[in-house]
Each structure stands twice: as C-alpha cells, then as structure tokens.
Amino acid sequence: MKKLTIIGATGSIGTQTLEVIRKEQENFELVAVSANNSSNKIIDIINEFVPLYAVLTEEKAYKEVREYCLDNNLKTKVLFGMEGLNSIVSLQEVDIVVTSIVGMIGLVPTLKAIQAGKDIALANKETLVVGGELVISEAKKHNVKILPVDSEHGAIFQCLQGNEKSDINKILLTASGGPFRGKKKEELLDVTVDEALKHPRWNMGKKISIDSATLMNKGLEVIEAHWLFDVNYDNIQVVVHPQSIIHSMVEYKDGSIIAQLGSTDMKLPIQYALKYPNRGDAVANKLNFYDMEDLTFEKPDMDTFKALKLSYEAGKVGGTMPAILNAANEAAVALFLNRRIKFLEIGNILEECMNKFDVQQKYILEDVLEVDAKVKKYVRDRFGN
C-alpha cells in the first residue's frame, strides 16, 4: 500500500486524486492534505479519509478546521502555513507526494519532499519552470522519481516506456487551442474573464484556464517537458489538436510516432503516476473508436498567442529567465481575473518583464524566490493601479 500526501487537495487535480483513491482504497492511504482557504472541503476530506495531518495556508481557514477537529475529538492534526506544508511532504511514513498546488508556491515543498526521499507525482508545472535545474539535480541526488501528472507529460512518459532516450527525434506536445483557437488579435481586444474561463474540453481551475486561453499553459509545459525528459527545445513541437483525444506523442529517429490516446479525464494520468510502473483498472471512460469524431491537427498561432513564443525564448535563455516569465504571468493573470487589465495585455506584460529583468545563469533557491517577488511587485505596481 502506498501512503500519500496531497498538497492542493481541494483543487481540480487534488479532487480527482481523491476519486482515484476512493476507487482503490486497498492500494492507497491518504496520510496528509493541504489547501489554502477551503476549510469546508478540507473538513469533508477529514471526515471521509481521516488523514493524520491537514494544512491550511490561510489563517482564518486554519483556525476553523483546527477548532472543528478539536470540538469533534478527531485525530487529524491541523497545521498552518508553509511550515506545515514542508512538514507534511517530509513525513517518514509517506511514500509519494502529489503536488497539485497551483503556482510557484509549490517549488519549496517539492524540494523538501525530494530531499526527504519522497517520489513526486507532479501536477505543479511551475515547479520545473522556475527551478528545473534545482529540482532535477536534487531528484538525481536523492534517487527520487518525478512522475508527471499533466495529461500531456503523462502521455509522453507512457510513450517512452520500453524505448531508449537516444532514439527520440522529437516530442509532439498536443494543445487543445483553448477557447480562442483560430481567433486573431483584433478579435481578442475586448475578451471578458468569463469568456476566457470557458475551456472547450477541460474543467480546470481559474488560473490554469486563463493560461490555456493565452497558450501560456502550453508554454509552461514546453519548459516542463525539457526538464522532465531532457530534450532540447528545438525538439519539442506543439501541435494544436482540438479534440484532445491524443494527449501527446513521441517521434523516434526511425520516423515511428507513438501516441497515447484517452478520454479527457485527468484521473487516468493521476492513476498511472500513483501506481507506476503498474496499471490499474479503468478510472475514466474508455474511448469508442466507432463513435469518435475526426481528429485534426493545426500549427499554433504564436503571433496572436505570444505567450507560447515567449516561453520557448525563456526556456532557451535559461537561468532565471523562466522564473521571470512565470512570475510575470502569475501576476498578470491575477490582474486579468480581477478585471484590472485586458486579455492581450498579459502577453505584453510577459515580454516587458523578460526585457527588463537581468538573468542569472547560475542560481540557487533564494535567487528564484527573490526574482519571483521582484517581478510580481513590478507588475502589480505598474499595471495594477
């Protein structure tokens, strides 16, 4: 039986991870969970799964959950803040940590988990975007497996099984195209938040939904794929596939292409990461090829959706440039969600920050945290008023 910690247990990936655990209670035990301020959802998880620990990073929610557990004489110990997060990812009894928290806030807990020798089921792509060199180095040092949970990276991971890395020609990273696929800049001038949140295929959180609309999500995945699979950026190709049936592909040097297909359901890559190297019974609807719609493929429009182009550029520059890109994006998306800037301004802000801030090619964790704070402050001060 594998024992799990889930950080970000109340979000989309965390919730679907709980569904996987429900279906395979004989194989998994939930030891610890975290959330930001979703006190009611954490209480529901505590009542159902009885984890040993729960962490809230917002003070009011922490007090509510702690009082609930004390009043009901529950065994779950409630912890607070980043210190609590770092504690539950390092627990001796835990085998694997599911990092489904959103944003670069996941970097430090992920590093703590790796240093404690825990395998990582990685759904927090920002961790590798902002600190890929640090994370991969620590994973090798501590002999830790990083198992991708994103549908695209989970697909690539499956396509690589039984093959040699030296035989890879390129990775074909599929993208749905988001809600504005096919539109040009002039059609996106007055896009509303509600329109940007309406993803045609996937049900995701707000931040990831906006990233999908700008194609920034795919840009982050390009950088993540570089680190996960040690493939050069020139050998990572984004292919728009609106039906989201093929989750990604690997082309080998002999011209063969291996693809992973499945329904648009994150429970499948979650289950594969948790059970690797084994497979479990179906947790998602199976495909019926007789009922399947046509599968189509397009080239991404990197002029209209400049975030994808900028992500390639940031990845190739390396050092702290991806951290600058990510910080600018997190701050800009927050402003857009709060209706302080327009949709197309997100890409402009990314470009401005990449041009403004100096890049450190050699960096440590503190450098990443510092540049993240500086860039976010700059974006809030310059565009948030």
Percent of the chain at pLDDT exceeding 70: 99
Q: CA angle, 100 as apex, 354 and 230 as ends, to 5°? A: 55
Task: Give the residue from 108, 115, 109, 112 showing the smallest Cα distance to 142.
Answer: 115
pLDDT tier at 199 (50, 70, 90 boundaries)? confident
Q: What is the pLDDT of residues 268-288, one digit of tens each?
A: 999 999 999 999 999 999 999
Answer for the pair 245, 287: CB distance below 8 angstroms, yes or no: yes
**53 burial via Cβ count (<10 Å: 0-12, 13-18, 19+):** buried
Give the model's pLDDT for residue 103.
84
What is the number of residues in the chain? 385
> What span, in angstroms and rounded, lies between the C-alpha atoms of 51 and 74?
10
**Sequence letter at residue 71:** D
DSSP state of 205: -
pLDDT in tens, 97-142: 999 988 888 999 999 999 999 999 999 999 999 999 999 999 999 9
Provide the β-strand partners of residue 170: 251
pLDDT at 312: 98
Residue 271 half-sphere exposure, CB side, CA atoms within 13 Å? Answer: 19
- What sign results for the dihedral spanned by CA atoms 25, 27, 31, 32? negative
State the virtual CA torsion across 94, 99, 100, 102 in degrees, nearest 10. Answer: 140
Helices (H), the chain: 12-23, 39-49, 59-71, 81-88, 107-115, 125-141, 151-160, 193-197, 206-214, 216-229, 267-275, 306-317, 321-337, 345-356, 365-383
DSSP code, position 64: H
Of residues 301, 304, 302, the one with CA closest to residue 313: 302
Task: For 35-87, write each residue's pLDDT tens digit.
Answer: 999 999 999 999 999 999 999 999 999 999 999 999 999 999 999 999 999 99
Confidence of residue 294 (pLDDT cuts 50, 70, 90): very high
DSSP H or E stretch at residue 77: strand 77-80
Domains plus CATH for the chain?
Answer: 2-144 (3.40.50.720), 164-261+276-301 (no CATH), 318-385 (1.10.1740.10)
Look-up: residue for tokens 């906006």?
210
Nearest to 383 by CA among 308, 332, 344, 338: 332
pLDDT range class, residue 200, cuts 50, 70, 90: confident
> Considering all CA atoms of the chain, what is the largest pairwise distance in Å, rounded to the nearest integer?
64
Report if pTM > 0.85: yes
